[in-house]
Structure 1
Amino acid sequence: MSRTIRRRRALGAVTVAALILAGSQASAQNRQFSFAYDQPNTTAYGIAANTFDAKLKELSKGTMSINQFPGAQLGQEPQMLQKMRAGDIDFVITATANASTLAPQAGVFSLHFIFRDQAHLVKVLADPQVKDAFRAMIKDQVQGAQVLGLMTMGMRNMYSKKEIKSVDDVKGQKVRVQATKTEDTHFPAYGAQTVHMPFGEVYTSLQTGVVNIAENGVNVYLANKHYEVAPVLSMTEHEANNNCIWVSDKTWNSLTDEQKAWVQAAADEVSRTEPAKALQLEKDSAEKLKKMGVKVVDNVDKTGFARDAAPIQDSLAKELGPHAVKILELVRNIK
């Protein structure tokens, strides 16, 4: 009798061990990563995250996927960058302007009027040399994380309670800008006063008059309902609204070579397909805003802005550093 009991216990122990092993193998084989961004899923950030997830699932045959945290659930971009570097978030999308809080030379993508038009912007972001140069810059300046690829939300435009038809209309105005040296140099050149604040405070600041003007992509303006407090959108297209996909070094180093290739391919798919979708989303959003009664000023005279911005481009790039100079040259050389 005791021998039978011992045998049953032994078999039970073997069964439990097998189940634990099977469970650990399953968890190792099926991995879900945190993927955070501070805009709603309905924006180009959502397009990028969905594209990344679909490609990663396809290549890994369903063993790897992402769990999205949109709408600043895990913090604004500067906070998410710090959490990612600590290994608390796996993947993050940020504006290249906010990337400059870690790598100041990333501010080169915030230089005004370096993209000739939307077609030029799409070509730049898909160019392997540009991507490699940007990634090398981040690796040289940032510890704990790296950039996998580039994307865009289109062009940035100014919005306010009044029309902005030319550079004269921003003189003396308080403009909320991203905290980069490029913004702090360009806007004063137009005669404006720059104000820094987290994105989440822009709505209230426009409402209360802390700032007179803000600037961002059309879809971001729509999705965050900034039109409620700044009902005039002026299409200045002064700057590209570029972004990058980050991965924590802790996460990256935990992957096999094959898994790293899948992750990189998923980011490459975003860089290849997202820009065209983002630009279409911008166009659709502008049409929707017009139907809602928002005044969209299409005929902005950009010549004054461009004139004041031109002499700043090279001097700022040199001040930022050699990586910025190289990237600016690459951007200009793409036909």
Structure 2
Amino acid sequence: MKKKFWKGIVLGLASLCLFTGCGKSSTPSASAPTPEKPIELRMNVTTADSSVWMACAREFKKQIEEKTGGRYKVAIYSNEQLSSGNQIKGVEMLLDGTTDVDMHSTMIIATFEPKLGALSMPWLFPRGYQDVDRIVFNGGPGGRIISQLMEAKGAHVLGLCENGFRQITNNKREIKTPEDMKGLKVRIASIPQYTTLYKMFGTDPVTMSFGEVFTALQQGAIDGQENPVNFIKAGNIQEVQKYMSMWNYAYDAIVLSVSNKVWDQLSEEDKAIFAEAGKEACAKQVAVSRAAEEKTRKEFEANGMKVTDLTPEEIAAFQKCVAPIYDKYRAEFTDEVMNAFGYVYPDQKGAQHENP
């Protein structure tokens, strides 16, 4: 009698394993997508269809649909359509699984994971894209820490794109020294350290929706703003600004990710497809973004904007002016994260201090 009982238990467990996959992450075959019954993934993108961000979105869509044989479809929603134009809400929707695939700047994601704000610190990458490629891309420590922080919040990173280095424009004067910043009313991205930073320069920092910036500049309500070159063009800001200083003061990365809700349901084979598609799509976007940046800068100059390249000595004066900001945010961003992004504090034993 006991033998029959235990035999029944064993058979029952075997049947359970057959239908559940014994704890594997693969989606059960009964609910697996097919070309006839594909799963549609909703992809949220901050910028407009004409933005360089879309080079990634479109390539990702193409790769996923081709490599899965049509089992997965990707519907792209530009201009934050899914979150009614609210970028912070857009990130929240990714993290809680309401949306499936997402592209957002680390500056916006930092609202939910403050440590990511470390990537936006001033002159974190003094050698420009050379440092970015070594630290953030190509498997660098900065890229790895971004993935770890995102995973803990509810999203799996498929790749990193870029918005580029942020430059400053204004209508008052050419900016070459910290003194040139004094008294300017400048629209900044709404992250705490930028308010601190611009007050150190002696400016009057203002936060407002980017959609309001063009009119505010046109009407003289503000004197200037700061953004990557491609983003400046996307908002037609060059039409209402006379001066732009190329000072590469902060770098803006874009994260391509899927919600953990989607990732955890993928088979191992499909995870490999998604990872490869993300890698290829992001590589394409970075190439497109950098080529467009150089072309756009030349267009600005041809149309009458005064574009100034700051020398290393001129940039050093700005760095010295705002150096205390690194100590101010040290506890919040943590040494681990700052080190991952290449910043070494002078008091860290045995380490060479290279950055400001």
Q: Which residue of 2 aligns with 1:297?
A: 308
Contact residue 34 and residue 70 of structure 2 kept, 8 A: no
In structure 1, runs of 5+ residues without a counterpart are 1-20
Q: Which residue of 2 aligns with 1:138?
A: 150
**Cα distance in 2 for residues equivalent to 1:65 and 1:122:** 31
- Which amino acid counterpart does residue 148 of structure 1 have in structure 2? L
Of the candidates 308, 321, 340, which is equivalent to residue 308 of structure 1? 321
Q: Which residue of 1 aligns with 2:123?
A: 113
- Which amino acid counterpart does residue 99 of structure 1 have in structure 2? I
Contact residue 133 and residue 323 of structure 1 kept, 8 A: no
Matches within 5 A, 1:237-256: 237-256=248-267
Q: Which residue of 2 aligns with 1:53?
A: 61
CA drift of 1:173 comes to 2.1
CA drift of 1:285 comes to 0.9
- Which amino acid counterpart does residue 74 of structure 2 have in structure 1? I
Contact residue 94 and residue 258 of structure 2 kept, 8 A: yes
Return 157-166 or 319-328, whichever deviates more: 319-328
- Which amino acid counterpart does residue 260 of structure 1 have in structure 2? K
Measured against aligned partners, the alpha-carbon deviations of 1:191-236 in whole angstroms (never above 9, x if no partner) come to 2232222222222232333432211111111121112222322212
Q: Which residue of 1 aligns with 2:293?
A: 282
- 1:323 and 1:202, CA in 2 relative to 1: closer, same or farther beyond 3 A? farther
Return 295-304 or 110-119, whichever deviates more: 295-304
3-state DSSP of counterpart to 1:135 = helix
In structure 2, runs of 5+ residues without a counterpart are 1-29, 345-351
3-state DSSP of counterpart to 1:277 = helix
Q: Which residue of 1 aligns with 2:46?
A: 38
**Cα distance in 2 for residues equivalent to 1:211 and 1:247:** 37
Contact residue 175 and residue 194 of structure 1 kept, 8 A: yes
Cα-Cα RMSD: 2.7
3-state DSSP of counterpart to 2:46 = coil
**Cα distance in 1 for residues equivalent to 2:60 and 2:171:** 37
Number of matched pairs: 309
**Cα distance in 2 for residues equivalent to 1:271 and 1:314:** 33
3-state DSSP of counterpart to 2:167 = strand
Measured against aligned partners, the alpha-carbon deviations of 1:10-36 in whole angstroms (never above 9, x if no partner) come to xxxxxxxxxxx9xx84454x3332222
> TM-score, normalized by length of structure 2?
0.77
Of the candidates 135, 143, 160, which is equivalent to residue 150 of structure 1? 160
**Cα distance in 1 for residues equivalent to 2:327 and 2:150:** 20
Q: Percent same amino acid at aligned positions? A: 25
CA drift of 1:306 comes to 1.8
- Which amino acid counterpart does residue 90 of structure 2 have in structure 1? M
Contact residue 235 and residue 296 of structure 1 kept, 8 A: yes
